[in-house]
């Protein structure tokens, strides 16, 4: 009996026991589909996180103050106030690989417009913030150098703030006077919506001139964070080293002293996020793959039942000259056909599940060709692995005993 004849016999066996075959394949179908869906969710999460991080700005480096240590109590990251505007100017002037610098001093504040109010984040910064953080305006204008010089009480608001104060994110708030901690500010622009990233809503913020924030809202001239844009992705490392050297020199740190500031690059954040999503994908895929193992055990059980049911057939075939390898190959082919067919149906199940998640669950999932191929290969391998034992058992049957089996 040749290869194609074995496949034909295998399909004939599946057709003769349709319900049993379908139930046997169900574990493989669910396993393959689940693996594909889980990988798709992981890939979608990875792409979403990557887009959000890249949306923070191009070639971004973040500089923050270090940890304070008072009375033996160590504060959190950024709890010191040792980054000054002179440090910012030194980075802008002396770092050759730096394109632009945007210092930030931020606080939380209550904002009022008429009878409506909301609590939001106030960001005091410079005009270069729009470029460094990739934060264009959808309406009106951004803060200018003149606003910074004049300590102007002007504000650029996010769409969530517009929604909270005016009832609609599309309402025209430009020109309105809002009160931030009882200080009146004129709205001069509305930021382009960037959506949320985790618990952080990028549209729930108000941007004001740094000088105004420091004198009117915060009460000191400290800088919380300095956002730096490198000239290109190839110069990210160079810019990182230059910033570190400039700040260590300005803060008079000895060669053995630890940095009293922290520098984080966009590349570092992206690598960490990708590592987390990759680990999550592997974990979810591993859990889903358990269904494949259960499906394989089901195939082995059914094939053992099939061997028992066809004992006389095996005896007859051996009696007329069928070799052990021929009998073994036939039952192995049947197991592989079961698992491979289940794998194909599982792929369709995976495609459907991924599409439903995208459409109805609001989740971002991306199908991966490699995951589809690997899931199918794995399902076929399950058929071989769990089909070997029943096939060997069938091939080792004594023909005389098999013919006498009732």
> Taking a C-beta distance cutoff of 8 angstroms, is the pair 98, 233 a contact?
no
> Taking a C-beta distance cutoff of 8 angstroms, is the pair 120, 161 a contact?
yes
| Residue 298 in tokens | 């089901």
| Residue 283 in tokens | 């974990």
- Per-residue pLDDT band for 46 (boundaries 50, 70, 90) equals confident
The pLDDT of residue 166 is 92
95 pLDDT above the threshold of 60:
yes
Task: Label the pairing between strands 261-265 and 60-65.
Answer: antiparallel
Q: What residues contact residue 362 under an 8 Å CB cut-off, 6+ apart?
A: none
The pLDDT of residue 58 is 61
- Per-residue pLDDT band for 71 (boundaries 50, 70, 90) equals very low
- Per-residue pLDDT band for 361 (boundaries 50, 70, 90) equals low
- With 0-12 CB in 10 A as exposed, 13-18 as middle and 19+ as buried, what is 302? buried
Mean pLDDT over 305-317 rounds to 74
The pLDDT of residue 69 is 47
Residues 126, 262: Cα–Cα separation, whole Å: 21
> Taking a C-beta distance cutoff of 8 angstroms, is the pair 5, 334 a contact?
no
How far CA 333 is from CA of 139, 291, 357, 382, in Å, comes to 67, 22, 35, 12
Instruction: Please state whether 125 falls in left (phi above 0), alpha (psi between -120 and 50) or beta.
Output: beta
| Residue 109 in tokens | 């504040």
Task: Label the pairing between strands 196-197 and 98-113.
Answer: unpaired
Residues 103, 34: Cα–Cα separation, whole Å: 47
pLDDT digits (tens, 9 = 90+) for 106-149: 999 999 998 999 999 999 999 999 999 888 999 999 999 999 99
Mean pLDDT over 238-254 rounds to 91
Half-sphere exposure of 280 (CA within 13 A, CB side): 14
pLDDT over 70 percentage in the chain: 86
Mean pLDDT over 36-41 rounds to 81
Which segment, 83-92, 300-309, 328-337, is predicted with the most confidence on average? 83-92
79 pLDDT above the threshold of 60:
no
pLDDT digits (tens, 9 = 90+) for 372-405: 887 778 777 877 787 777 777 777 777 666 566 5
> Taking a C-beta distance cutoff of 8 angstroms, is the pair 224, 80 a contact?
no
Residue with tokens 């630890």: 258
pLDDT digits (tens, 9 = 90+) for 216-242: 999 888 888 999 998 887 888 899 999
39 pLDDT above the threshold of 50:
yes
> Taking a C-beta distance cutoff of 8 angstroms, is the pair 367, 33 a contact?
no
């Amino acid at each position: 009996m040749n290869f194609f004849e074995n496949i034909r016999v295998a399909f004939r066996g599946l057709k003769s026991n349709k319900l049993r075959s379908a139930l046997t394949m169900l574990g493989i179908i669910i396993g393959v589909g689940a693996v594909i869906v889980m990988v798709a969710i992981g890939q979608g999460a990875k792409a979403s996180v990557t887009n959000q991080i890249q949306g923070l700005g191009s070639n971004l480096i973040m500089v923050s103050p270090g940890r304070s240590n008072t009375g033996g109590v160590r504060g959190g990251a950024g709890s010191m106030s040792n980054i000054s505007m002179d440090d910012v100017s030194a980075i802008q002037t002396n770092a050759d690989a730096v394109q632009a610098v945007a210092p930030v001093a931020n606080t939380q504040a209550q904002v009022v417009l008429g009878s409506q109010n909301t609590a939001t984040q106030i960001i005091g910064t410079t005009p270069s913030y729009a470029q460094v953080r990739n934060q264009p305006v959808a309406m009106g204008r951004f803060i200018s150098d003149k606003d910074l010089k004049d300590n102007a009480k002007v504000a650029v608001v996010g769409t969530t703030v517009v929604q909270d104060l005016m009832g609609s994110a599309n309402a025209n708030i430009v020109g309105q006077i809002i009160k931030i901690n009882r200080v009146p500010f004129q709205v001069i622009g509305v930021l382009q919506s960037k959506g949320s990233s985790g618990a952080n809503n990028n549209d729930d913020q108000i941007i004001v001139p740094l000088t105004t924030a420091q004198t009117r809202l915060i009460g000191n001239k400290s800088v919380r964070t300095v956002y730096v844009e490198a000239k290109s992705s190839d110069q990210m490392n160079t810019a990182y080293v230059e910033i570190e050297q400039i700040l260590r020199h300005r803060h008079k740190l000895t060669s053995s002293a630890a940095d009293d500031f922290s520098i984080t690059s966009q590349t570092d954040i992206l690598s960490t996020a990708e590592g987390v999503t990759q680990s999550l994908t592997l974990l979810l895929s591993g859990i889903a793959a358990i269904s494949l193992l259960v499906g394989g055990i089901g195939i082995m059980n059914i094939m053992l039942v099939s061997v028992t049911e066809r004992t006389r057939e095996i005896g007859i075939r051996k009696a007329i000259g069928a070799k052990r390898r021929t009998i073994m190959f036939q039952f192995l082919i049947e197991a592989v056909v079961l698992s491979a067919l289940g794998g194909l149906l599982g792929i369709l199940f995976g495609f459907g599940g991924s599409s439903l998640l995208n459409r109805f669950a609001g989740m971002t999932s991306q199908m991966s060709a490699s995951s589809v191929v690997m899931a199918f290969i794995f399902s076929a391998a399950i058929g071989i692995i769990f089909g070997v034992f029943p096939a060997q058992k069938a091939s080792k049957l004594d023909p005389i005993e098999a013919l006498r089996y009732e």
